[in-house]
Amino acid sequence: MTDSTETPSGLPDFDPFKFQSSLKEIGERSQRLIEEFYNQEKDQITHMDPAKLADPGILDPNNIQEAFTSLFTAMMSNPQKFAEAQANLWQTHMNLWQTTAKRMMGEAVEPVVKAGPRDKRFRDSEWDENVVFDYIKQSYLLTANWLNQAVDEAEDLGDEERRKVEFYTRQYVDAISPSNFVMTNPQVLRETLSSNGENLVNGLENLLEDLERGHGKLNIKQTDMDFFKVGENIALTPGKVVFQNDIIQLLQYTPTTDEVYTTPLLIFPPWINKFYILDLRPENSFIKYFLDKGYSIFVVSWVNPDKKLAEKTFEDYMFEGVFAALDAVKAATGEQEVNTIGYCIGGTMLSASLAYMAKKKINKVKSATFFAAQTDFTEAGELKVFIDEEQLQSLEREIDASGGYLEGTTMANTFNMLRSNDLIWSYVVNNYLMGKDPTRFDLLFWNADATRMPKNVHMFYLRKCYLENALAEGKMELGGVTLDLSKVKTPIYLQSSKDDHIAPYRSVYKSTHLFGGEINFMVAGSGHIAGVINHPAAGKYQYWTNPDLPGTVEEWWEGATEHPGSWWDEWELWLRAKSGDKVPARVPGEGQLDILEDAPGSFVRVMS
């Protein structure tokens, strides 16, 4: 009999009796989990309207089956090409068998396939050093690459179908990675043996907690949600709420300089997330950095809507959001015009508002900067996978069932799928297989602190922008006005990010030929968040500039110049030229607006 202190694995803490006990506990908890899930699903189906249950959209809300049917039809229409592809797959696996056999005999061999440089799944040394795990890894990579390539090369597929099958094939390929399973992940195996299975017990407990928090739906915890408190250790820059209506609170920040530029700066964040992405911590706060540069900063904090606001429209968000904020800043400062920033969907709304003002000959905005914001949605990236008429109808049913608003977790889960290995499967491994708690990370707390959205606002945005591209094509109507972006003569600064999956830089670039005035365009390193929130003190990433705006973004890249670090200071030079002379610093409450409460306000504290 093997002593518990001497095991063939070399793991001195392994105790087979404790391990057996852990397995028993895992089995009991798993049975309870399955029973609860089964009962919940059964109850949901029992109480569902029979007419809805007969709707095929209930079982396939993302309309995947039709796309994959088209794929299989396209593949079978050319059986010779499909047979050649299968033969190639067989040959690559034979090559892997041969190199593995040589390696087992002590011969040095080059791997048949390698993981990408950004692939974090196979960083544990055992994936390379242990011949068995190396074989498992390479076998998976060969099959995954083959499957993705086969889909990519399929003929006779429409653009929409191709996007969908490529996206969901990648989701499948990511899900079956050997790193996601206990017996094929060396790191998980080591932890299981050294902890006598306690990691799996703890992981199951984490899974149960995530299901409970998601009310039966898996809501993966990405960070310590109890540690961060808005206004206590996150969103700390001092300021006051100086205006409020049904849709927004307006924050005016306390100046940090004796003098400020004449023209105030008003920021419109996206309403699908909370504004404090711009103010996570003092050392990476966009707001604090530019307060210290001498700007009067106002930020819109959008409401986290409930059933009472379910009937609000996109038009309401323009009038009660953008225009109400512009009027409030004027009352607070006495200035007729302001510089503005629109982030993501907040930028799309700002674009539409500028077009409305241009048509009405209203002059309230001196300049507009757009962070990762789109106006032309023809190349809007992988989010278009989720947007066709069938899926939008399914989404409407979901929103109606929720009381007229879209749950915040729905959009958060969608964004997570765009980077599933980093934002889903890495946490499955860490939380459920390793049995660990996720690290404390302010950005991921913000990412999970999503907001709800009224049905009319969200469906208008998806249909008019993503599905119809109405804003770019001059067909969108708001407030009785048909919007024409070419009439906008306001100076524009377009920020984009090289690895942005939500607002791809090539999509943002299309705006350079839509507005009618002075336009600047740049590309930052990293993605949708880190490309924007990149404090100069961090010394990270880079950015590219080119004063010329040729017909395509590919031509723009050819003449672009790369600069190290953050783009903030270069943009500040552009903004400074449009901000006027210095005046005594403006303190919240000294204008025509009374102080309502301290920043960050009450709207931002409402969690979904």
Judge whether 344 counts as a catalytic residue.
yes
The helix or strand, by DSSP H or E, that contains position 99, with its residue range, turns out to be helix 79-104
Rounded-to-integer distance, Cα 494 and Cα 22, Å: 56
Q: Which 8-state DSSP code applies to residue 334? A: -
Rounded-to-integer distance, Cα 565 and Cα 300, Å: 28
- Per the residue annotation, which of 204, 344, 459, 462 is the catalytic one? 344
Question: Which is nearest to 333 in space by CA: 252, 237, 275?
Answer: 252
Residue 350 Cα distances to 123, 231, 344, 357, 482, angstroms: 43, 27, 10, 10, 15
Do 197 and 22 contact (CB within 8 A), yes or no? Answer: yes
Q: Over 244-308, what HEC string results?
A: ECCCEEEEEECCCCCEEECCCEEEECCCCCCHHHHCCCCCCCHHHHHHCCCCCEEEEEECCCCHH
Rounded-to-integer distance, Cα 358 and Cα 506, Å: 26
* Range 125-134, long-range pairs (CB < 8 A, 24+ positions): 126/186, 126/187, 126/190, 127/186, 130/186, 131/100, 131/103, 131/104, 133/184, 133/186, 134/100, 134/103
Write the DSSP assignment of 541-568 as a string of letters. -EEEE-S---SSHHHHHHT-EEEES-SH
| Residues belonging to the chain | 608
Rounded-to-integer distance, Cα 456 and Cα 507, Å: 25
Retrieve residue 73's tokens. Answer: 């039809």
**Parallel, antiparallel, or unpaired for β 265-268 and 297-302?**
parallel
Beta-carbon contacts of residue 575 (< 8 Å; ≥ 6 apart)? 265, 295, 339, 367, 369, 493
Question: Which is nearest to 601 in space by CA: 309, 251, 225, 227?
Answer: 251
Please report how the helices 198-213 and 186-194 are oriented relative to each other, as an axis angle in degrees rounded to 10. 110
The residues annotated with a catalytic role in the active site are: 344
